[in-house]
Structure 1
Amino acid sequence: MSEGTDVNRGKRGLIIAIDGPAGVGKSTVARLLARQLGYLYLDTGALYRAIAWKVQDMGVSPEDQRAIAGLLPKTILHMACGPEQSHVLLDGRDITGELRTPAVTALASVVSAIPAVREWLLPVQRKIGAEGCVVAEGRDIGTKVFPQADVKFFLEADAEVRATRRHRELVAAGHSVQFDQTKRDLTGRDDRDRSRTVAPLIPAPDAECIDTSSMSVDAVVAHMMAVVAARL
């Protein structure tokens, strides 16, 4: 399901798990950490967005869990991981650039709560990380996907700060969205992620928790590198 080349891939390296809600900076710091370590970057959220994209493209109701589960056996999902970006091919089409629209983001939050979807994607994610040398970010990496991860981080931040960051990202990407709507979408997703029965968004017991509200990206990455360096 994945491919990628790196000088470290010939030996067993660390699996680094980064979890947390939207807007805490997971993607940014995960990419930078992967680049500094020469590891692959695994954006697991992109996999859920890909399924959401297909649900939307096929015109399936997000409330029809049976129909969504029925799409999975007919789906060919491939993720090509590099040190800074994960490219997603769905049924032979590269949809990477279409995965971060507000509509797909909102739908992904609903789709990701479906047990059949989470179970179907679990081996996809684990196969990518099987050899180690990977920085994986998501919402259940340290608790469900890679509970044996060598290093686990859980990022947190104030909801207002997270909404501001997310709104800035959407505007920069050319989306016309209001801040209040962005904040409502974000807090709604928080509620769904934390309350779902399968793999809810919670810190792993052995995760290093970092509040990024008032920290710069460089400061967060430096802190992470110090933790990782102790395990290398």
Structure 2
Amino acid sequence: MAAVVPRLLVVEDDDSIRTALRWALEDEGYDVAEAVSGEEAVRAVAVAAPDVMVVDLMLGSMDGFAVIREVRREHDLPIIVVSARADTHDIVAALEAGADDYVTKPFEVKEITARLRALRRRAGSGAPDLPPDEVVLDKDPAAPLVLREARGTVHRGDQQLPLTLTEFRLLCELAGSPGRVFSRQALLERVWEHGFFGDERIVDVHVRRLRTKVETDPSAPRLVVTVRGLGYRLDPQ
């Protein structure tokens, strides 16, 4: 049986950078499609259903932030931002919008491919052919919170929660050792694998996003709690 070729969408309005990325990623075995604007990117995701997306932030009328937010409404594919904007506020904003990783320009293509491999390993780490392993994180009788790691799903009652890949991995890591405090650095090493860009605040961003989806009251979290000065832990309810 022939191997499945992963589909990748490059969203970049600079012709030279887009072409260089395409050639390099095709050499890595990807089936690469291109988009030169935010609007074109959103259409391409809807039509071509890529497995992963690499997107620049500065795209004109519809910038990369808007693209990510729009894609995240319907899709949970891994998204890597590649941008010349290296300010921490831009990085945090992109991750808040729903990106999984962030690489600043100039960059080595091998760094992009390494991060893509790490994201795809995490995306494929589930085992849908295994019996579902259910972990009840919140026993609320009206709407229990159930994690099914093997299936890659989290449900609140009958509703499946739209967690991104990184949010799901973060929840699984915390749920694997309930009551244990994880430092931000430990979570970076376990969830991001390749160490991301070294800023531990990325963990805070993703925890905040995760809480908006799994907590009944994100402003007063009871499930994913902060341990001041140490990190985070998960307290099943």
Query: TM-score, normalization: structure 1?
Result: 0.27
Structure with max Cα Rg: 2
Between Structure 1 and Structure 2, the one with more helix by share is: 1
| Structure having greater relative contact order (Cα 8 Å, sep ≥ 6) | 1
Query: TM-score, normalization: structure 2?
Result: 0.26
